[in-house]
């Protein structure tokens, strides 16, 4: 999880729902300061007993949703939470998102990881206080956050990372000036690939596909790749995932699908739920995304390069 974070060396971090300190100590090793917050007193005391030797951690027993929580505006470089929002009501999530944005410095980041759709693990709990929401709920709530400073400058949250890991989904947001128009990604999600447009394309080209040829041309192209079970495939411009599900199911490969469109990846994640095939999806710009050398056996792309200037 921590490998997904933007650089946080020498930064000020607010950890919401810190628990007994699964991440607190590791964050403190690099950060300038960490505020570890949890509303259960015994839990935060346990965290302090484990990580109290780090002198840059402030342990705080408080409710993240309380209006009495006093965090200075514009004081945090990174706000981190893990499996917290799923225990809050919709209204609490909306209010907390707005306050988190105010606590952030301009250029600061919010990271959160949540379980979506349903319970993780094999043991289903009879009384479960969690809200298993579709990912697009969180995306929409944070995308709608806006703030204005004392000088009248306005700010918003820009999605810079959105990725599924096993049964969990991670988001990374950056606080930016509202003058930042979001570029080509915004065009894709508000013009060419709005949610209703995606569904219309899918009705035209077949389930899982939003471009010409659908499953038939996918089968034709993939047949040329000589895929073997266990290989790792990168799909650049994966759309809503139809080709990735096909490759994973038919050939036993592990597929990483990336796309610049938030809406596309949201649909792909929803479609992946319950399919039990080896795919992961991430919002990423293929012109800037990097991977370690020799990460993939096959790189597959269609109807993508035409979008690059």
**Residue pLDDT, tens place only, 83-129:** 999 999 999 999 999 999 999 999 999 999 998 876 544 445 555 66
169 and 190 both lie in a single domain: no
Rounded Cα gap, residues 282 and 297, in angstroms: 19
171 and 195 both lie in a single domain: no
Q: Has residue 290 got a pLDDT over 80?
A: yes
Give me the pLDDT at residue 127, please.
53
Domain of residue 282, CATH code = 3.40.50.150
164 and 194 both lie in a single domain: no
Domain extent at residue 152: 2-180
Cβ atoms of 260 and 283 closer than 8 Å: yes
31 and 132 both lie in a single domain: yes
User: Mean pLDDT over residues 46-59, rounded?
Assistant: 98
Looking up tokens 């919709």 gives 90
Single residue among 180, 198, 233 that ends a domain in this structure? 180
Give me the pLDDT at residue 246, please.
97
Q: Has residue 308 got a pLDDT over 80?
A: no
> How many domains does the chain fold into?
2
- Looking at every residue in the chain, the average pLDDT score rounds to 91
Single residue among 180, 199, 222 that ends a domain in this structure? 180
162 and 252 both lie in a single domain: no
- Angle CA(234)–CA(235)–CA(241) in degrees, nearest 5? 130
Looking up tokens 């200037």 gives 309
Q: Which of 67, 157, 61 is nearest to 104 (CA)?
A: 157
What percentage of the chain carries pLDDT values higher than 70? 93
Q: What is the pLDDT of residues 171-228, one digit of tens each?
A: 999 999 987 666 777 767 666 678 888 999 999 999 999 988 899 999 999 999 999 9
pLDDT band for position 148 (50/70/90)?
confident
173 and 194 both lie in a single domain: no
251 and 296 both lie in a single domain: yes
161 and 73 both lie in a single domain: yes
Single residue among 180, 198, 216 that ends a domain in this structure? 180
73 and 204 both lie in a single domain: no
Give me the pLDDT at residue 191, please.
64
């Amino acid at each position: 999880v921590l490998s997904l974070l933007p650089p946080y060396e020498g930064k000020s971090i607010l950890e919401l729902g810190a628990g007994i300190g699964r991440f607190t100590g590791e964050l403190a090793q690099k950060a300038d300061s960490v505020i570890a917050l949890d509303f259960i007193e015994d839990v935060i005391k346990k965290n302090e007993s484990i990580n109290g030797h780090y002198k840059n951690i402030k342990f705080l027993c408080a409710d993240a949703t309380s209006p009495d929580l006093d965090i200075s505006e514009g004081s945090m470089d990174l706000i981190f939470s893990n499996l917290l929002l799923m225990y809050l009501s919709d209204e609490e999530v909306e209010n907390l998102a707005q306050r988190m944005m105010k606590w952030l410095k301009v250029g600061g980041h919010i990271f959160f990881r949540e379980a979506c759709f349903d319970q993780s693990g094999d043991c289903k709990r009879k009384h479960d206080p969690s809200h298993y929401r579709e990912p697009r709920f969180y995306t929409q709530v944070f995308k709608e956050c806006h703030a204005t400073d004392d000088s009248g400058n306005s700010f918003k949250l820009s999605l810079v990372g959105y990725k599924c890991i096993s049964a969990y989904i991670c988001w990374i947001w950056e606080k930016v000036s509202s003058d930042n128009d979001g570029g080509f990604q915004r065009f894709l999600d508000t013009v060419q690939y709005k949610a209703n447009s995606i569904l219309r394309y899918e009705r035209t080209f077949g389930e899982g596909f939003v471009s010409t040829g659908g499953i038939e041309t996918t089968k034709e192209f993939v047949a040329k790749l000589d895929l073997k079970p266990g290989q790792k495939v990168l799909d650049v411009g994966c759309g809503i995932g139809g080709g990735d599900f096909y490759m994973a199911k038919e050939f036993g490969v592990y597929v990483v699908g990336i796309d610049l469109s938030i809406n596309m990846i949201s649909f792909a994640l929803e479609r992946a739920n319950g399919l039990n095939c080896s795919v992961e999806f991430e919002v990423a710009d293929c012109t800037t995304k990097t991977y370690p050398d020799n990460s993939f056996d096959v790189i597959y792309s269609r109807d993508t390069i035409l979008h690059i200037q």
